Structure 1
Amino acid sequence: MAFDLPEEKARWARASAERLWAGKTSVKMEVQLRNTPFYVKGVAFGDIVKVKADHERRELVFEEFVSESGHSAVRVIIKDEGVREEVDAILRAFDCSWEVDVTGFLWAINVPPRADYASMRVALLQIVSEKKIGLEESALAGMHRDGLNLLDLEN
């Protein structure tokens, strides 16, 4: 299924749409996402979205968000080649899965519901402060956002 990209993202991605794997649900024209996006914001692995058929393109196209899965989508851009193993170790410690784009510099990270995202974020932000990576939180699940709010209240 396809997510049409805004012009600015499309230029950067060198594509007019990002295509994600999706599985059928029991509701007609609703699908469950089966991977983590590199460019699309607001959706994560397992989320349910409504699609419409684009007969000209012969594909299903995103229409609207339906419900979240509890997973979050985070992106990392590697700025320093030497940091890959450190980022890899952090992601493994929090039981995340991820995909790397063809350049090897953009990582699409699936943060599972059970992950302590607040702690993981602290570790990643340390590397951001060293200017070794860029970080984008493209879709944070409610439980991960709530964990960040609790962390803010404690500090």
Structure 2
Amino acid sequence: MSERLYRVVFDLQERIACSTGIGVERLWAEKSGRLEMRVLNVPFYVRGIAFGDVVRVRPDHERREFVFEELLAESGNSTMRIILRGAQPEGEVGAMLRAADCGWEVGPQGIFLWAIDVPAHVNYASVRADLLKMADAGTINLEEGAISGLHREGFG
């Protein structure tokens, strides 16, 4: 029997909403407790949230959605985002991420925006260094969306 999935709405910061034209991001999640959900997507725009994190939600009856309230527990994973630039770098970037055991989601409508999941067991500093080299070469633009406490402490 498959677990029921829910969409959790994250209202985006005004700065992000203005620059993207998107006011909210909806992420798939599964219930982990009463009004608690485990995030099952890598966010494209939400800051401070990573795949597997547990969040508190509130039902918004007007919107008929669950809305993010607060982060309850980190999964240990981190989120990075890149925008691909130049002559088709996706093969090089994808090979590097696969070798590092990272997952990613590609933005909608053929946009060259990737949301990258850096699992807790992966050496974050190494992945970051490889992506920074690509950024310095002009192949990608890089943003760190959520760095877990585990990765900030230098583990993995």
User: What's the TM-score, normalizing by structure 1?
Assistant: 0.89
1:81 aligned counterpart, secondary structure: coil
The CA distance in 1 between the partners of 2:56 and 2:26, in whole Å, is 15
Q: Which amino acid aligns with 1:40?
A: V
Kindly state the Cα deviation for residue 18 of structure 1 after the two structures are TM-superposed: 0.1
**Gaps spanning 5+ residues in structure 2: where?**
1-7
Determine the structure 2 residue equivalent to 1:111.
118
Identity %: 49
1:125 aligned counterpart, secondary structure: helix
Determine the structure 2 residue equivalent to 1:95.
101
Determine the structure 1 residue equivalent to 2:92.
86
**1:98-138 superposed Cα distances (whole Å, 9 cap, x missing partner):** 11112331100111111111111111111111121111111
1:42 aligned counterpart, secondary structure: coil
Higher helix share: 1
Number of aligned residues? 148
The CA distance in 2 between the partners of 1:104 and 1:91, in whole Å, is 19
Determine the structure 2 residue equivalent to 1:121.
128
Higher strand share: 2
Determine the structure 1 residue equivalent to 2:31.
24
User: What's the TM-score, normalizing by structure 2?
Assistant: 0.89
RMSD: 1.6
**1:15-72 superposed Cα distances (whole Å, 9 cap, x missing partner):** 22100001001x3111110111000000000001111111000000001111100111
What stretches of structure 1 move > 6 A for 4+ residues in a row? none
**1:68-108 superposed Cα distances (whole Å, 9 cap, x missing partner):** 00111110111213321111111001111111112331100
Residue 151 of structure 2: which of 119, 144, 147 is its match? 144
